[in-house]
A and B are shown apart, each in its own frame.
Chain A
């Protein structure tokens, strides 16, 4: 347990020292601030644009953080050969991967809390209660945790470029998973239909974690939806991290 905490904190400190993270964070905060001026161009509700732009900024820049920081987490240790020193200590391989993931999760959590707070203030300054956005912000964080899990998974067996491509592809496929449904209806053979059904069931459905529109329009989520989405996203992330740990356990370093 101590090893996981130590690795997680070290990963967090390392990410904080990384200037890319500051850049991403600054962009997100600037975008939320700029949304105030963009909203002046509209006719009707200005606060809707502030909310949309803010939520998308949190999600998009969080995604960049998860990808850019996540994909090099394991690879960097191998490239610098610090992994040998680390694994010579009483640290199990799964503890190393899990610690890395927890560290990245803390980074993402801090980033979402900071940008989320900026959005809440921006909305409050427009004279509207911002608390209806909290479920959407929470599920954005869950989505980012899931994407980070994929980044760590890819990072555990490939180089950062391939890992970044894989993680981004997962994000895109996760938001297009409805297309497997569509494809299944168009497929003639049973085999094709079964493959579509299988892919739809196995691949992450990130739209399930997207409640931005409901939050912006102040619509209540169906009873139990938030809890189910939370469990879905976090369980999926745990599953992927376990997979990453298993792959890393079998990896051989030359």
Chain B
């Protein structure tokens, strides 16, 4: 009788544990995801009570965040990304680089909040000025969103960080070219060409870019002059030297090989044989 009672009690206890656990899991699953994050305190306070184990706490929050943001069923899951990665993990362990770029990646790629992603990368670089990878990634994010001037500024910061590879100046020059400021871009490629840290291959690339951009700048200047001439005279110039005679240009530019630019008077277009070797 006693044995039956004990076994019955045991079975009841097992049932109680199993059913209560399942019920708690159901209640948990029904909760809205981001409410959990409301209770996550700032890393400054967590650090204060971590008793010297703040880096480990940062690891645990980071591991939790990876699992949390891997769950695509969470509602409103991007609302606290900056708080978790910037205010919590970065405050607990400012030297931990992975959370900056991962948080920024989630914000810009999935959350579509480019400014928040850039803020996180900026914060990381501010705390870790030798980590050129952070402004480097910020530069690519800006490039992806078509903000070439900001991208150039980020690549410039990355290139000037200690230990950064000199190739980053090439990215800066490339982004400057994409802003449309060709004179500035030529000057930046000239910097690459003059930098003794660069190898022959990098210099050859810089020389080709200067050649291309010079042609582009000249053609743009000639196109503008032709348009001005047409506006004044109601027709296209028959030859390019008419632009000088009309006082629109002080002199005709030559292409990088020293040859004159070719001109099609029927279409009013300018081109150069030099541009054909570009990219070779």
Contact = CB atoms under 8 A, between A and B. Distances in A.
Interface of A: 38, 41-45, 48-49, 52-53, 55-56, 59-60, 171-172, 175-176, 178-179, 206-207, 210, 212-213, 216-217, 219
A49 B54 CA distance: 12
Contacts of A53: 56, 59
B22 interface: no
A213 B48 contact: no
Contacts of A219: 95
Given A52-B55, A175-B51, A44 B97 contact: yes
Interface string B42-65: 000000110111111011001100
Contact of A171 (B51, B95, B96, B98): B51
Contacts, number: 59
Nearest to B53: A56
B53 A213 contact: no
Contact of B52 (A43, A48, A206): A206
Contacts of B49: 176
B98 A172 contact: no
B102 interface: yes
A43 B66 contact: yes
Interface of B: 48-49, 51-56, 58-59, 62-63, 66-67, 93, 95-98, 101-102
B56 A43 contact: no
B52 A216 contact: no
A219 B53 CA distance: 17
B55 A42 contact: no
Contact of B67 (A41, A49, A217): A41
A176 B48 CA distance: 7
A59 B66 contact: no
Given A41-B67, A60-B53, A178-B48, 18 more contacts: A41-B66, A42-B59, A42-B62, A42-B98, A43-B66, A44-B101, A45-B98, A48-B98, A49-B63, A52-B56, A53-B56, A53-B59, A56-B56, A176-B51, A207-B52, A210-B52, A212-B53, A216-B95
A210 B98 CA distance: 22
Contact of A48 (B54, B66, B96): B96
Nearest to B64: A41
A171 B50 CA distance: 12
| Candidate in B49, B53, B56, B97 with the most chain A CB atoms within 10 angstroms | B56
B70 to A, nearest CB: 9
Given A175-B51, A175-B52, A213 B95 contact: yes
B55 A44 contact: no
Nearest to B69: A43
Contacts of A171: 51
B55 A59 contact: no
A44 B102 contact: yes
